[in-house]
Amino acid sequence: MPQIKKSGLLLATLGTLWLELCLLESCLTMMSNQLFQFSIVSALIDGVASQGLPMYDLISYGNFGLGTFRHMVGEMIILDGVVYRMTADGSVFVIENTAYGKMVTPFAMITHFQPSVTAKCHIQSKAKLSEILSELMTGARNHYLSFKVHGNFKGIVVRTVGGQQVPHQSLAELGKKQVSHSFNDIKGTIVGFRSPSFMQGISVAGDHMHFISADKKHGGHLLECEAHDEVDLAVAHISSMQLQLPTGDDDYNQARLKLDAEGISTVEG
């Protein structure tokens, strides 16, 4: 009889452990392909970029993303959990984790990337890439997508804004002074997010992409691309989003934040 009780207790313990493991697995699964976004694009358009979310907080939300840095000095790309800063001359620098506490982002999007669709495809242009995404993800017209393209590119055109020269300088104004850089016969990765049209102003409606070369020496906001032969495309469907707005930021609190769809398309398109 005592042996039966011990066996019953053991089974109950194992059952509880199994349930806890299932719940843990469920939580980890839910973490994948959930979008975390800090601040909104309309705030950048209005020049709100002097404060932001510490980098160590941002990186806790994922391993794949894009954004910018304080005062919009450079473009951000997060690939495989590593944060890179791309500067106005087209160069790239790794942000060491020892600097995470000192650096902030006024805007960023990040996710734990787990692709639901993969494909080999020919990309003749940035517009063709957008077309392929639409064909692959027909059920996600009003959802977010995260996507990664890796391969050899015949041509890449990127730009990176130089950063604010005076307080509150708008992204639209910075965009007028941006310089583009072209790279030929370059291997690298495109990190991108597609946002639904109704989220314009919160995010960048349509496809927002950054590029980084395989040697991690060149990159920026993607303006155009053409690939050699086939490239690898991986796409994740995102239906859950967490938006964190800036707090304790007077610039954000006083900003008008009126939708400037044309300005966003011009600078971020």
pLDDT at residue 31 in the model: 75
Residue 207 and residue 267 in contact, taking contact as beta carbons nearer than 8 Å: no
Residue 225 and residue 156 in contact, taking contact as beta carbons nearer than 8 Å: yes
Structure tokens at 261: 């769809």
Buried b (16+ CB within 10 A) or exposed e, 99-129: ebeebbbbbbbbbbbebbeeeebebeebeeb
Residue scoring higher pLDDT (260 or 135): 135
pLDDT at residue 238 in the model: 97
End-to-end CA distance of the chain: 74
What are the extents of the domains in the chain? 1-31, 34-268
**In whole angstroms, what is the distance from residue 249 CA to residue 262 CA?**
26
Query: Is residue 172 scored above 90 in pLDDT?
Result: no
Handedness of CA 60, 188, 146, 194 (dihedral sign): positive
Q: How confident is the model at residue 17 (pLDDT cuts 50, 70, 90)?
A: low
pTM to 2 decimals?
Answer: 0.86
Question: In the predicted model, what is the mean pLDDT of residues 231-236?
Answer: 98
**In whole angstroms, what is the distance from residue 86 CA to residue 80 CA?**
16
Question: In the predicted model, what is the mean pLDDT of residues 208-236?
Answer: 97
pLDDT at residue 30 in the model: 42
Q: How confident is the model at residue 15 (pLDDT cuts 50, 70, 90)?
A: very low
pLDDT at residue 58 in the model: 97
Q: Give the rounded percent of residues in the chain with a pLDDT score beyond 90.
A: 74
Question: In the predicted model, what is the mean pLDDT of residues 151-155?
Answer: 98
pLDDT at residue 19 in the model: 42
Q: How confident is the model at residue 68 (pLDDT cuts 50, 70, 90)?
A: very high
Question: In the predicted model, what is the mean pLDDT of residues 193-209?
Answer: 96
* CATH topology for the 34-268 domain: 60s Ribosomal Protein L30; Chain: A; (3.30.1330)
Q: How confident is the model at residue 269 (pLDDT cuts 50, 70, 90)?
A: low
